[in-house]
Chain A
Amino acid sequence: MVGAPLALLVALTAAMLWEGGAPVSPVRHLFLVPGVWAALTAGAQAGAFVGLMAGFLQAPLVLPAIERVGLTGGALDGLVSLVTPALLGAVAGHVRDQAFAGARRLDALLEIQRRLAADEPMAVRLDAVVHVVRGCLGARAVGLVVGSPEGPPAVASVPPGAALAPCSAAAWCLASGGGMRSRDLATDPRVTVADVSSSPRRAMALPLDAGAGSRGVLAVEWHGEVTEATARAATEMALHLGLSVENARLTLRQRRFAAELEEKVAAATARQRDIDRAKSEFISVVSHELRTPITALEGFSELLLSRPVSPERARRFLGHMHAESRRLGRIVTELLDLSRIEVGVAPVLTRERIDLAAHVERQIELFAGVHGGHRFLWRAAPALPPLHADPDALDRMLQNLLSNAVKYSPRGGEVRVSARTAPGGFVELSVEDQGVGIAADALPRVFDKYVRIANPKTVSVRGLGLGLSLVRALAEAHGGRIEVSSEPGKGSCFRLLLPD
């Protein structure tokens, strides 16, 4: 590195001697060149060294002149020529070193940010970072500890393989958020090391603090001399590392949040699509359900108006019309209830003291009279407490549950209804069928509005998909709840829990 400047120096000395060896020779000015050359190519130490050599080589020419003629102007000029190359070499080299160090530091910082932002495992990223830091700071060893709220801190080191001891300086810095600096680890009373190295071991442990608390520790060890500029660079690097770690952490959190949001949006979109489809189906079903009784009413009323009919036949027609108009009324009532639920208005209840066993038994008898194709078994636990509930709402809940049990179970199937007290001050009324059952993934949706669970065996079953939704709304209006358990192919059991 300094060979060529030194050779030039020797050549210049030879030229000066050949010229006569006068200390004020114009050649003396050229003695600045090797020092500056060495400084610009190899730095301050080389520049100062070559400059010093320039002074040494000129000294045998300058000093005898001073001894001969005294401290004249020429002699002073010669003395300045002795000193200037070393000073200039040192200064030029220092400026060059500063510029190079700044550029190297900037490169390192950019590299660190690039490495930390890479889409790689944390261990790989930290490993790359410690190599960059070590190269930039000229350190013997570098360790990087990044704390993690979920688990043990991540550690990377070069030379590799160092684990974080809980009582170490880095662990102390991580816990306290403070930093430590040691002029020499071998003689530092705070650190226990068995070290006989011949050079001081400077060390720094710096918190990675970007203003939001310490995120980790940067530990750096050097052998030999460390300039203040290097120490400042380490501090600056720790600050940038803190920022980069914080940024990486925020980016990771943002990515997780974006993924979660994407999932939620997808789920909401799917749900909205289901609701849209259910509404379309609902409108179709409602139209059909409304059309059927209206058609019957139109037909029978036309018959009565268009031709004379016997009183018995007219009475039968009027009976059909009455039944269809009641059906129409029930549909409209359900739609009104639905409308109230949609706008968040709880159904209006008129609570009465009800003897549940007697009430339910009577309803089952009425229902069984109409649906003779199924067997209804009723069992009530002894000493059931009286229930404070709206009898009409209770009837509608029970009828919906029974109607579902009948609709979704084969003819001749058994429908078991039972009542008993339940923990927490509730009375449990359960309706169990031996029908097609409900798939596990569909169970959470059975109480949603407009939802009718698709099943090839029940395509012919008519309904609006509102019954269970109304049951839930009425149960909740009573302060109770509805639960379901089911096994596909074996049947379902709905449990209505109402406060006593």
Chain B
Amino acid sequence: MDLLTAPFEAAREHARPTVWRPFVAVSAVMLAVVGSGRVLVLQGGVLADLGVALEGVGVHGGFIAQGLVIALEGQGAWAGSALRVAAMLLAGFLLGRLAPWGGLLLAATPLVLLQECRQYPILSRIGALEPVRPGSLAIGLGVGAFLGAHLLITASLTFGYGVSVAGVSAYAAAVAYDVGANALSAEWLFRGALFSHWWRYWGFWGAAVTSTGLSLVRYLLDPALPHTVEARAGAIFYLAALGVATSVLRAWSGSLLPGYCASVAFFAAYRTLVVW
């Protein structure tokens, strides 16, 4: 019991935060990579595929790098870990552009991140560990599947959107993208780093609402989101519900994995939605 045994100094204050400088640096690099990717895409030609890959790496690699900076408090060899993950993402995105099944390589990104987590036990503070409650992965999958199924039913009944899978390879690549980039980076940054950090200071609801709000901004800025009003309203509702649900799962299980499973299951369902 630390209150009885751990050394205590009533007058000691917080050390100056060391996060900001690396965080700004990562954000700047992220913007630069995304910008250069955009330029390459706009120029077209053979480098357009590289541009798309750079955009993906910039966004998702940047989110994971930001999460690493926050989780490691700007200390340690976060840059090396971020570069390894970014390299994996780049390989996945590039292969996905070059071959129909190449995008499946993205699904290996969590393994790279898992390897990085083993090097830094302090990352368990953000939930990078196995869940303490048995069955929480199944519950996470169930939550995501429920929200995804609800989305499909409601959208098809309300707006007449279709539910179909255009091709197995395209669907698998989309799911691999969610597994290795979309859901992974969102959960890592918004639920892992930010929610875990703010939860310690602001309590559950403060942290859950803020981190979910930021994740909503991230998705609303995503050019891949359909631009219709009803699609955006639906995105806000379901992504907010997903954000709160994954925050609950993160707090309840102590791990990011159930929330990550929920996100993957939700997006796996979402990928079958055909917006007219």
Q: Residues of A at under 8 Å CB distance from B? A: 56, 59-60, 63-64, 66-67, 141-143, 145, 155, 157, 159, 162-165, 167-172, 176, 180, 183-187, 189-193, 195-201, 203, 205, 219-221, 224-225
Question: Across the interface, do B251 and A199 meet the contact criterion of CB distance under 8 Å?
Answer: yes
Q: In this complex, what residue of A is CB-closest to B203?
A: A225
User: Which of B58-66, B103-111, B193-201 is near enough to bind chain A?
Assistant: B193-201
Question: Across the interface, do A169 and B154 meet the contact criterion of CB distance under 8 Å?
Answer: no
- Please, which residues of chain A bring their CB within 8 A of the CB of B201? 183-184
- The listed residue (B3, B6, B124) touching A198 by CB distance below 8 A is B124
Question: Across the interface, do A198 and B125 meet the contact criterion of CB distance under 8 Å?
Answer: yes
B254 at the interface (CB under 8 A from A): yes
Q: In this complex, what residue of B is CB-closest to A164?
A: B4
B10 at the interface (CB under 8 A from A): yes
Apart from A167-B7, A183-B200, A196-B125, 8 more pairs, CB < 8 Å: A60-B150, A143-B3, A145-B4, A155-B4, A168-B3, A168-B6, A197-B124, A203-B3
CA–CA, A193 and B251, complex, Å: 21
- Please, which residues of chain A bring their CB within 8 A of the CB of B10? 172, 176, 180, 190
B246 at the interface (CB under 8 A from A): no
How many Å from the CB of B236 to the closest CB on chain A?
A: 14
B148-184 contacts to A, CB under 8 A, are 150, 153-154, 157-159
- Please, which residues of chain A bring their CB within 8 A of the CB of B129? 198
Question: Across the interface, do B1 and A162 meet the contact criterion of CB distance under 8 Å?
Answer: yes
Question: Across the interface, do A198 and B255 meet the contact criterion of CB distance under 8 Å?
Answer: yes
- Please, which residues of chain B bring their CB within 8 A of the CB of A172? 8, 10
Can you list 27 A-B pairs with a CB-CB distance of less than 8 A?
A56-B146, A59-B150, A67-B159, A141-B1, A142-B1, A162-B1, A164-B4, A165-B7, A167-B7, A167-B8, A168-B3, A168-B6, A169-B3, A170-B4, A180-B10, A183-B201, A190-B8, A190-B9, A190-B11, A195-B2, A198-B196, A199-B251, A199-B254, A200-B199, A200-B200, A201-B2, A224-B251
Residues A60 and B153 in contact in the complex (CB < 8 Å), given A167-B8, A190-B12? yes
- Please, which residues of chain A bring their CB within 8 A of the CB of B146? 56
User: Binary interface profile of B, 184-197, with partner A (CB < 8 Å = 1, else 0)?
Assistant: 00000000000010
Q: In this complex, what residue of A is CB-closest to B124?
A: A196
CA–CA, A198 and B15, complex, Å: 21
How many Å from the CB of A221 to the closest CB on chain B?
A: 6
Question: Across the interface, do B150 and A56 meet the contact criterion of CB distance under 8 Å?
Answer: yes
- Please, which residues of chain A bring their CB within 8 A of the CB of B15? 189
- Please, which residues of chain B bring their CB within 8 A of the CB of A195? 2
CA–CA, A140 and B251, complex, Å: 16
- Please, which residues of chain B bring their CB within 8 A of the CB of A64? 157-158
CA–CA, A224 and B199, complex, Å: 9
Question: Across the interface, do B1 and A67 meet the contact criterion of CB distance under 8 Å?
Answer: no
Q: In this complex, what residue of A is CB-closest to B192?
A: A198
- Name the 8 nearest CB pairs between A and B, nearest first: A219-B3, A184-B200, A169-B8, A200-B200, A162-B1, A198-B254, A141-B1, A192-B7
CA–CA, A489 and B181, complex, Å: 107
Q: In this complex, what residue of B is CB-closest to A200?
A: B200
Give the number of chain B interface residues (Cβ < 8 Å).
Answer: 38
- Please, which residues of chain B bring their CB within 8 A of the CB of A63? 154, 157-158
Q: In this complex, what residue of A is CB-closest to B153?
A: A60
- Please, which residues of chain A bring their CB within 8 A of the CB of B158? 60, 63-64, 66-67
Q: In this complex, what residue of B is CB-closest to A144?
A: B4
- Please, which residues of chain A bring their CB within 8 A of the CB of B4? 143, 145, 155, 157, 162-165, 168-170, 219
Residues A198 and B127 in contact in the complex (CB < 8 Å), given A187-B200, A225-B204? yes
B227 at the interface (CB under 8 A from A): no
User: Binary interface profile of B, 98-124, with partner A (CB < 8 Å = 1, else 0)?
Assistant: 000000000000000000000001101
Q: In this complex, what residue of A is CB-closest to B9?
A: A190
B5 at the interface (CB under 8 A from A): yes
Question: Across the interface, do B124 and A221 meet the contact criterion of CB distance under 8 Å?
Answer: no
Question: Across the interface, do A168 and B125 meet the contact criterion of CB distance under 8 Å?
Answer: no
Q: In this complex, what residue of A is CB-closest to B152?
A: A60
User: Binary interface profile of B, 11-44, with partner A (CB < 8 Å = 1, else 0)?
Assistant: 1111100000000000000000000000000000
- Please, which residues of chain A bring their CB within 8 A of the CB of B204? 225
B126 at the interface (CB under 8 A from A): yes
How many Å from the CB of B170 to the closest CB on chain A?
A: 27
Q: In this complex, what residue of A is CB-closest to B3?
A: A219
Q: In this complex, what residue of A is CB-closest to B252?
A: A224
CA–CA, A176 and B8, complex, Å: 13
How many Å from the CB of A65 to the closest CB on chain B?
A: 9
Q: In this complex, what residue of A is CB-closest to B132?
A: A198
Question: Across the interface, do A169 and B157 meet the contact criterion of CB distance under 8 Å?
Answer: no
- Please, which residues of chain B bring their CB within 8 A of the CB of A163? 4-5
CA–CA, A203 and B153, complex, Å: 45
Question: Across the interface, do B14 and A189 meet the contact criterion of CB distance under 8 Å?
Answer: yes
How many Å from the CB of A11 to the closest CB on chain B?
A: 17
Q: In this complex, what residue of A is CB-closest to B255?
A: A198
Q: In this complex, what residue of A is CB-closest to B202?
A: A183
Q: In this complex, what residue of B is CB-closest to A192?
A: B7
- The listed residue (A60, A192, A196, A221) touching B3 by CB distance below 8 A is A221
